[in-house]
Amino acid sequence: MTAYQSLSASELTSLQTVLKKQYEEIKASRLHLDMSRGKPSPDQLNLSIEMLNVLTADDLAGTVSGVDVRNYGLLEGLSEAREMFAELLDVDSDEVLIGGNSSLNLMYDTVARAMQFGTAPGETPWGQQENRKFLCPVPGYDRHFAITETFGFELVLIPMTAEGPDMDLVEQYVNNDPTVKGIWCVPKYSNPDGYTYSDETVRRFAALNPAASDFRIFWDNAYCIHDLTDTPDKLLSLMDECKKQGTEDLPYFFASTSKISFSGAGVAAMAMSRKNLEWTKKFLSIQTIGYDKINQLRHVRFFRNAEGLRAHMQKHRALIQPRFELVFNTLDREIRGLGIADWTHPNGGYFFSLNVLPGCAKRVVELCKEAGVVLTSAGASFPHGIDPNDTNIRIAPTYPSLEDLGKAAEVLCLCVKLAAAEKLLASM
Ligand code: PLP
């Protein structure tokens, strides 16, 4: 394939005419397709539907972990649930706290607690400190950025690489600037690139020597077992590495079954050093008497343990992998080698990044929308919704049917070509 950059102005103009014609034909077919949502498809949700039948009235009347799950108590959650999440998060079970239905909620509450009460006894609450900064690896998860934006942090962009965030920059900020209070991380199959942090990156996180005594790493392992190939990525245990360095108070770990069982009706968990856990429980015990243990029990009975969770993820993989492959095959066929886009090709997770020519992402999303294909807004993966290069588009292939996805991917490729031709012609 010839790169668009090597075409003359007249060749590009003729190409644009052909592409426009194809685009108008597609527009006339009045499509209604949505590739914007990183949600499980209905087929995936059906995989867990039997969970609703695993608890009988007799089960509930007895005790589990020595407690009656129908009643108040056990702020940290059922021990069986703590053990299950401990394995997923690579920590000890007494470092795990089981939450409610949403890990994002746990992250918000963790930031809110630090704002109001500080991160440890004797620390000044974040909210009483001026010029607070939070590091945001980009592209990243918009809802992470929104939490720290809401609490008034200056959001500092840290470029992502295939090995994780640019650690030279992270170290420079964290080890020298006492106003840097935290960093958002999705260490496995990052949202949206699908990158997994390398062993060296994890070790460098553990070896951070923060200028601020109340600096924390928000390690959101949302996609810890969401593998899509036979050669899944492996993530080193940050907690183990921190223990070697004596920095185990730095990280807060998060995960949930939102993309394992039911989105928004699963079980979320967080983990942290015993010292951090004591401090957290001091305030959490005021906030709630305890989370929903019946839902925890339902999950434990259905999945049994971490191995059961992994086996269940193979069923998800059977549904998701063909969707990813369909989009990758379409991109390969339609736009590879044209010099107008590149994309990540993760071994798992829910997303990948499509990077188009600088200044073209918004235009591609707009063209797709006019042709009836909704994509995640350009810029959504950056703080304040602004991608400085206007190049990144988050692609979410899990939700649409294979048929819809095939059509949507073709429209996407056409719009990438059209936007690139427009851009290159305008710069001639
Ligand atoms: N963390 C990441 C990185 C996500 O991509 C998502 C959802 O897309 C969440 C957290 C949300 O998790 P939960 O449903 O447990 O709040």
* pLDDT tens digits, one per residue of 256-299: 999 999 999 999 999 999 999 999 999 999 999 999 999 999 99
Mean pLDDT, all residues of the chain:
96
* 61: confidence class by pLDDT, cuts 50, 70, 90: low
pLDDT at 58: 74
Return the residue whose CA atom lies nearest to atom 2 of ligand 1.
Answer: 222
pLDDT of 37 > 90? The answer is no
Can the peptide bond before residue 139 be classed as cis, meaning omega within 30 degrees of 0?
Answer: yes
> Ligand 1 pocket, 256 CB below 6 A?
yes
**H-run or E-run covering 294:** helix 293-303
Q: What is the mean pLDDT of residues 374-396?
A: 96
pLDDT at 343: 98
Check if the beta carbon of residue 379 is closer than 8 Å to that of residue 361. yes
pLDDT of 63 > 70? The answer is no
pLDDT of 42 > 90? The answer is yes
CA neighbor of 258 nearest in space, from 150, 350, 130, 133: 350
DSSP letters, 113-175, are HHHHH-SSTTPPPGGGSSS-EEEEEES--HHHHHHHHHTTPEEEEEEEETTEE-HHHHHHHHH
129 vs 299: CA distance, rounded Å: 41
> What is the pTM assigned to this prediction?
0.97
224 vs 220: CA distance, rounded Å: 9
Q: Per the structure block, which two tokens stand in for 345?
A: 């090709």
Which residue do the tokens 């690896």 mark?
Answer: 137
137: left (phi over 0), alpha (psi -120 to 50) or beta: beta
Check if the beta carbon of residue 391 is closer than 8 Å to that of residue 356. yes
pLDDT of 67 > 90? The answer is no
Which residue do the tokens 């746990």 mark?
Answer: 106
pLDDT of 36 > 90? The answer is no
Render pLDDT for 254-266 as a digit per residue (tens, 0 to 9).
Answer: 999 999 999 999 9
The residue to mutate among 193, 258, 261, 398, having the most atoms of ligand 1 within 8 angstroms of its beta carbon, is 258
Q: Per the structure block, which two tokens stand in for 407?
A: 């059509």
Render pLDDT for 86-123 as a digit per residue (tens, 0 to 9).
Answer: 999 999 999 999 999 999 999 999 999 999 999 999 99
Check if the beta carbon of residue 84 is closer than 8 Å to that of residue 309. yes
Using the mean position of ligand 1's atoms as its centre, give its distance from the Cα of residue 252 in Å: 15
> Ligand 1 pocket, 187 CB below 6 A?
no
Check if the beta carbon of residue 156 is closer than 8 Å to that of residue 399. no
Q: How many residues does the chain have?
A: 428
pLDDT at 424: 96
DSSP letters, 364-402, are HHHHHHHTTEE-PPTTTTSGGG--TTS-EEEE--SSS-H
Render pLDDT for 392-403 as a digit per residue (tens, 0 to 9).
Answer: 999 999 999 999
Return the residue whose CA atom lies nearest to atom 8 of ligand 1.
Answer: 38
Closest atom of ligand 1 to CA, residue 258: 14
